[in-house]
């Protein structure tokens, strides 16, 4: 009887630990997003705020990348700024952000996060989009104006922010 209870408690602990695990939305796509073969991630953090029946909200992932990944990214930018990401082309540009992207960009930078850590990260990205040595790419669909993805790459801190925002 004691073994059975112990097994149930162990199963419960394992189940709870899996529920708490975060799944990174962009991690497997980093090579195609950055246009490099091998992305070396030194650390990663996820911030999310999802809700509603359709999963509205925001997922923001922060990746600290290796010097080799930064060098590969820079080398690829000299030959092309456009890469294939899923079924779309992704184009990397240097800050400042093109004014034609301000409407989709505002869906992200004007997002009112309830989570304090996510709010702080959005504020950090707002500051980054005005700093030199920062690259960005915005992916959005004209037919679905509520769907926006933003990628901001700060080469000074070796940090890539990937953001998926759906409303």
What's residue 43's pLDDT?
97
Domain range annotation of the chain: 23-166
Tell me, letter by letter, the H, E, C secondary structure of the chain: CHHHHHHHHHHHHHHHHHHCCCCCCCHHHHHHHHCCCCCCEEEEEEEEEEECCCCEEEEEEEEEECHHHHHHHHHHHHHCCEEEECCEEEECEECCCCHHHHHHHHHHHCCCCCCHHHHHHHHHHHHHCCCCCEEEEEEEECCEEEEEEEEEEECCCCEEEEEEEEC
Asked whether residue 29 carries a pLDDT value surpassing 80, the answer given is yes
Phi first, then psi: what are they for 8, rounded to 5°?
-65, -40
What's residue 14's pLDDT?
44
Q: Which tens digit of pLDDT belongs to each residue from 74-133?
A: 998 888 878 888 778 888 999 988 888 888 888 888 888 888 899 999 999 999 988 888
What's residue 108's pLDDT?
82
Q: Give the HSE-up count for residue 134: Cα atoms under 13 Å, Cβ half-sphere.
A: 21
- CA-wise closest residue to 137 among 59, 32, 40, 22: 32
């Amino acid at each position: 009887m004691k073994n059975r209870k112990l097994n149930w408690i162990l199963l419960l602990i394992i189940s709870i630990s899996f529920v708490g695990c975060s799944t990174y939305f962009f991690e497997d796509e980093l090579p195609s997003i950055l246009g490099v073969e091998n992305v070396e991630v030194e650390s990663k953090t996820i911030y999310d705020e999802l809700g509603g029946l359709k999963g509205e909200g925001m997922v923001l992932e922060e990746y600290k990348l290796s010097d080799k990944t930064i060098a590969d990214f820079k080398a690829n930018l000299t030959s092309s700024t456009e890469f294939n990401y899923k079924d779309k082309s992704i184009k990397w540009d240097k800050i400042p952000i093109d004014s034609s992207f301000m409407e989709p960009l505002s869906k992200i930078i004007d997002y009112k996060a309830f989570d304090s850590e996510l709010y702080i990260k959005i504020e950090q990205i707002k500051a980054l989009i005005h700093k030199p040595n920062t690259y960005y790419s915005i992916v959005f669909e004209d037919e679905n104006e509520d769907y926006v993805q933003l990628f901001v790459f700060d080469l000074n801190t070796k940090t890539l922010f990937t953001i998926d925002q759906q409303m």
